[in-house]
Structure 1
Amino acid sequence: MRTEHFLTRLDRAFARLDREPERPAHLQTPRMSRHRVVLLGSTLAFYLAIVVAVLTTSWLVRLDWQIMFFRPYEQWPQLHAFLDYLVVLGQRGPTAVMVAAWLGWRSWRQHTLRPLITLGVSLLLLNITVGAVKLGLGRLGPHYAREIGSAELFAGGDIFPSGHTANAVVTWGILAYLASTTVTRRVLSVVSAVVSLSVGATTVYLGTHWVSDVLLGWSAGLLILLALPWFEPLIARIEAYVFEVRERMRRRVEAGLVPEPVAAALTPLLSAGGKWQRRRPVGPVAPAAQPAPAATAGAGHSPVTVRPAAHLPRPHVIRSERTPVTPAGSRRPAHTERAGAAARGTSARPVAGG
């Protein structure tokens, strides 16, 4: 009878964790192509045009005031409750948590830290670029405007460009940037564009941003996504440094240079690689036992190996490495009478009717 070993879901999870992190071979890092450079230059020109239009109090500022006096939230009040929830898709905290959870699962499955590091780099660039312009121009929002027709610049505000809109472009657009296939990238690009457009329009509806704020927020987020290939070497260096620190800490734990409580806490984290699959026994290692000589019970008998009574401690083996035990031979116990009858050439079963 043969017993088969079926891997449970927990076994498969540990087997995946026991693999050494590596970058998938079929994933290609985006490069700064000529098409991307053209899009980057066009977006940058549009960005500068919006800033100049607001600085010179042009027709764009007049459009801002006209839409503010139109008050869309009063024209369509039935949409207010729904759009209050929709605008959350542009808030940095909730969206960063959701996208980081998804990219964390991607990192675990693909055995690479690139998705999470790319998200962190893009959010850092977003905070630096958008935050610097916000504080530098100091524009007030529609609810705090004081002079009709004015651009409300350098008044201590932080509304220009729209942080909700730029965050929606970057946070949801990073999913399309990290997509594995062309079809997935196109689908996620459309989804991220719809979400970012909806968030920007919602902020105008709620009266929290000018139209020019939203236009600059769209272009600011798109500039970060288009410029990300320039930061791919930095992302690769950060990933290599993290794995180097992990390997260094693993060697310190292996050598016993880390206190026992800290080592016990770090062992599950450091045991994700193939080099750390077996846990080493605690205490001094006993010398290897010499096999006992074979003792014969008598002439014509097969030698019987005498095994030592006390076995040495064996290293711990994870569940995915344990081989199934297959019993050899028949499980039916031997029958002495049947063996004797077979030797005499007679049947062990009595003959009926004799």
Structure 2
Amino acid sequence: MRTNDELVPAEERPTEAVPPRMTRTRLGIFVATSVVYAAIVVGVLTTSWPVRFDWQVMLFRPYKQWPEIHTFLDYFVVLGQRGPTAVAVAAWLGWRTYKLRTMRPLLVLGTSLLLLNATVGAAKLGMGRLGPHYATAVGSNEMFAGGDIFPSGHTANAVVTWGVLAYLATTPRARRIASVSAALLALGVGMTTVYLGTHWMSDVTLGWTAGLLVLLALPWFEPAMARADVWLQEAWRRLRARRAVPALPVALPAAAGVSLGGPRGPADDDLPVREPVGAGSRATARVADGRPHLPPRPHTARSERTPVTPTGSRRPPHADRLPRTAPLGPAAGRGRAAA
């Protein structure tokens, strides 16, 4: 008999029962991406060929070359905006959290966004580059001028937010689809910012590398996320146990004139007190008002009662009646006639 795993295509079977680890391949990609990141930063700081290419694209003014797509791209660029994308992905991962009974999907999203804000935000404020619309001199790198566009936040956010879906995929097919979709979205968002003139081309390339570095670094944080998952689930169980309402005892109504036990208070002085009855005693228990209260006696089942024989009448005897077995005489006849 074929098992369920054999009936499922190989590319649709889950391949990772445990979170991803920092393998040598992943570490090599991380190092190579870090080198590219550093090369872009150095190229912009030294006003070399990345800056010259930035000015060529800026003076080309793509938004004037193809104005008919301007409105569409104004909406499309929202796919890289942090707020809307984080809400959309968090809603999906929240449903996955409920189905899988684990907080890991939301913890991965939260950790990635925290890393993104810390690294990209620090680079933006530290290098202070101005955007194309605020450039002061043709050919300058516009660094350390109080700006905050280097690297591109929209581009890095698109890489991280949509890339988390590929990172959490459990089948090869789902991982490929999510990876290609995230790459296309990040590519489109980055080029859209260049088209709109809000970013230099070097801002976008640095945003791609910054987002990829965050995704590649996530396996280093998996142990911490696993501990946080255990702690949160335990805290949730304790909270539910604390909120559980205990079953209250049902209050039974006390019989009139009978105390249910326990210490008597001032309000109980007017109530009658039952006198205790001995274990083998046939005496009746009396209450303070003088009315007798018979102790409980065993009840005889119907099958144990003495059967009634057909001999004799079950009616009680009467002084004016004669038994049916007595013969009828003249006096009896006169008396019946007179009646």
- Amino acid across the alignment from 1:226: L
CA distance in 2, matches of 1:146, 1:72: 20
- Equivalent of residue 149 in structure 2, options 159, 162, 169: 159
Of 299, 307, 322 in structure 1, the residue corresponding to residue 303 of structure 2 is 299
1:97 pairs with 2:87: yes
In 2, the alpha carbon distance for the partners of 1:296 and 1:105 equals 65
CA RMSD of aligned residues (A): 2.3
Q: CA deviation at 1:25?
A: 11
Could you list the runs of 5+ residues in structure 1 that have no partner in the other structure? Answer: 1-23, 254-262, 268-278, 287-293, 301-354
1:189 has 2:173 as partner: no
Counterpart position of 1:88: 78
Q: Which amino acid aligns with 1:299?
A: S
Aligned to 2:158: 168
Whole-angstrom CA distance in 1 between matches of 2:16 and 2:62: 48
The answer to whether the aligner puts 1:216 opposite 2:197 as a matched pair is: no
Please show how residues 262-273 of structure 1 align to structure 2 within 5 Å: 263=243
Instruction: Note if 1:108 corresponds to 2:112.
Output: no
Q: For residue 239 of structure 2, what is the aligned residue in structure 1?
A: 249
User: Aligned pair 1:29/2:33, yes or no?
Assistant: no
Q: 1:1-354 maps to which residues of 2 (within 5 A)?
A: 27-251=17-241, 253=242, 263=243, 280-283=246-249, 297-299=301-303
Change (3 A) 1:296 1:118: farther
The question of whether the paired residues in 1 share the 8 Å contact of 2:123 and 2:151 is answered with yes
Secondary structure at the aligned position of 1:73 is classed as helix
Q: Measure the CA separation in 2 of the matches of 1:26 and 1:41.
A: 24
- Mapped partners of 2:164, 2:15: distance in 1: 20
Q: Give the partner amino acid of 2:168.
A: L
Residue 28 of structure 1, CA deviation: 2.1
Match of 1:299, SS state, is helix
Q: TM-score, normalised by structure 2?
A: 0.69
Matched-pair contact (CA < 8 Å) for 2:76–2:189: yes
> 5+ residue gaps in structure 2?
1-13, 253-297, 305-339
Q: CA deviation at 1:237?
A: 1.3
Summarize deviations over 1:115-149 as a string: whole Å, max 9, x none. 00110010000000000000000000000000110
Q: Give the greater-gyration-radius structure (CA).
A: 2
Query: CA-to-partner distance for each residue in 1:244-297, whole Å, 9 max, x for gaps?
Result: 32233344x2xxxxxxxxx4xxx5xxxxxxxxxxx64235798xxxxxxx9775
Note closer, same or farther for the CA distance 1:231–1:152 as it changes in structure 2 (3 Å cut): same
Tell me the SS of whatever aligns to 1:112: coil
Equivalents in 2 of 1:52, 1:29: separation in Å?
Answer: 35
Between the aligned residues of both structures, percent identity stands at 63
Give the partner amino acid of 1:69.
L
The letter for the 1-side match of 2:53 is: L
Aligned to 2:320: none
Alpha-carbon distance in structure 2 between the residues aligned to 1:133 and 1:182: 34
Find the counterpart in structure 1 of residue 277 from structure 2: none
Residues 223-242 of structure 1, C-alpha deviation per residue, up to 9 Å, x if partnerless?
00011000001111111121
> 2:98 and 2:157 mapped to 1: Cα distance?
25
Decide whether aligned partners of structure 1 residues 64 and 281 sit closer, same or farther in structure 2, where only a CA change above 3 A counts: same
- Which of structures 1 and 2 has the larger relative contact order (alpha carbons within 8 angstroms, sep 6+)? 1
Distance in 2 between residues matched to 1:133 and 1:284, nearest whole Å? 67
